[in-house]
A and B are shown apart, each in its own frame.
Chain A
Amino acid sequence: MLEGDIVQMGAYIGAGLACTGMGGAAVGVGHVVGNFLSGALRNPSAAGGQTATMFIGIAFAEALGIFSFLVALLLMFAV
């Protein structure tokens, strides 16, 4: 029934669990953009100057999700 070794099984399960971190990044990016949009709709004239700030915020939130993707990749291919 079961084949292969248990270490590999652990690595694959760990890779799958690491991917839940991406959900957190998705929530974070959605939060950043949603708040930017709600602010921008209240004061559209000031929104144009703040898009760069929004992208910086997105980049910081997203980097942590990318870290979990990297952990998944390391577990799949490097461990």
Chain B
Amino acid sequence: MATESHGEAETGLVFHPMDQFQVTPLFGADKVEWFTITNVTLWMGLTIATIVLILVFGARGRALVPTRSQSVAELAYGFIYKMVEDVTGKDGLVFFPYIMTLFMFILVANFLGLLPMAFTTTSHIAVTAVMAMAVFLAVTIIGFVKNGFGFLAVFWISSAPLILRPILALIEIISYFVRPVSHSIRLAGNMMAGHAVIKVFAAFAPLVLISTGIGIVVTPLSILAITAIYALEVLVAFIQAYVFAILTCVYLRDALHPHH
């Protein structure tokens, strides 16, 4: 992606907006192979380290009146616990650890990706597709284990008129198999689009350095735009993690209670 020439220095465009998503090997390796440590590995490791710092070391005190870091951990735990209980029901709480893991990983990866010079691991479809496929396979297997062939009732909507049911079944089957695609692309697309837009405005920002009058207007505007979009991205980073987790809950509810 984006290996062609990146424009001349005097136009201000010295980088391509998609350059930030390039996977580069670290520690002297010259190409990416199976176990090469890349910037993706590094930022995923930092994500895990941050989660451990918040959830394990932050909540270590077990104080009755929580400290600041302990209340962050408690807030995240309580928020996801309530969401799983509300959406999936009491019997879905067995899967709470899995959804909590997914939510915390995506949330922290999104937030760490917002740091300047950071790499957003969740902007790669390869990363999100693994998570979405895991959810899809887990939901399908859980559905068949819990309900046997009764799980197929999820495609056969018994509240609809009999004539419509085969057509609805076809639509339901298609939408069932599109789930992992939309689940993964929603997260990756949102992260990628936001970061690319920030980089596009960042390319306009140094125009003032060039003696062309227009930069006086464009530079403050683009810096304002970067600030505004950055604030939006902080919101999007949280909402996309929340949406990924809540959709996992919705799919689990279908697997546990297939009868509409």
The 8 closest A-B pairs by CB, nearest first: A66-B189, A63-B182, A59-B243, A63-B186, A77-B1, A69-B189, A66-B186, A66-B185
Whether, in the assembled complex, B247 has its beta carbon less than 8 Å from a beta carbon of chain A, the answer is yes
CA distance A70 to B87 in the complex (A): 30
CA distance A58 to B83 in the complex (A): 17
The secondary structure that dominates the B interface is helix
User: Contact: A67 with B250, CB < 8 Å?
Assistant: no
Size of interface on B: residues with Cβ below 8 Å to A: 19
Whether, in the assembled complex, A52 has its beta carbon less than 8 Å from a beta carbon of chain B, the answer is yes
Q: Which of A38-70 contact B (CB under 8 A)?
A: 49, 52, 55-56, 58-59, 62-63, 66-67, 69-70
With CB as the reference atom, state the residue of chain A lying closest to B82. A52
CA distance A49 to B83 in the complex (A): 11
With CB as the reference atom, state the residue of chain A lying closest to B18. A77
A sample of 12 cross-chain residue pairs with beta-carbon separation below 8 angstroms, ordered by A number, consists of: A52-B83, A56-B246, A59-B186, A59-B246, A62-B186, A62-B190, A63-B182, A66-B185, A67-B185, A69-B193, A70-B189, A77-B1
Contacts of A56 in B (CB 8 A): 243, 246-247, 250
Contacts of A73 in B (CB 8 A): 192
CA distance A66 to B8 in the complex (A): 31
What's the least CB distance linking A47 to chain B, in Å? 14
Q: With A52-B83, A52-B86 given, can you name 19 additional A-B contacts, CB distance below 8 Å?
A: A49-B86, A52-B87, A52-B246, A55-B239, A55-B242, A56-B243, A59-B246, A63-B186, A66-B185, A66-B186, A66-B189, A66-B190, A66-B193, A67-B185, A69-B189, A70-B185, A70-B189, A73-B192, A77-B18
What's the least CB distance linking A74 to chain B, in Å? 11
Size of interface on A: residues with Cβ below 8 Å to B: 14
Whether, in the assembled complex, B228 has its beta carbon less than 8 Å from a beta carbon of chain A, the answer is no
Contacts of B138 in A (CB 8 A): none
Contacts of B247 in A (CB 8 A): 56, 59
CA distance A33 to B129 in the complex (A): 28
Complex interface bits, B65-108 against A, C-beta within 8 A gives 1, otherwise 0: 00000000000000000010011000000000000000000000
Whether, in the assembled complex, B145 has its beta carbon less than 8 Å from a beta carbon of chain A, the answer is no
With CB as the reference atom, state the residue of chain B lying closest to A58. B243
CA distance A64 to B189 in the complex (A): 11
CA distance A31 to B246 in the complex (A): 21
CA distance A56 to B239 in the complex (A): 11
The listed residue with most A CB atoms (<10 A of its CB), out of B83, B186, B246, is B186
What's the least CB distance linking B102 to chain A, in Å? 15
CA distance A67 to B189 in the complex (A): 8
Our pick among A49, A52, A55, A63 for the contact of B185 (Cβ within 8 Å) is: A63
What's the least CB distance linking B195 to chain A, in Å? 13
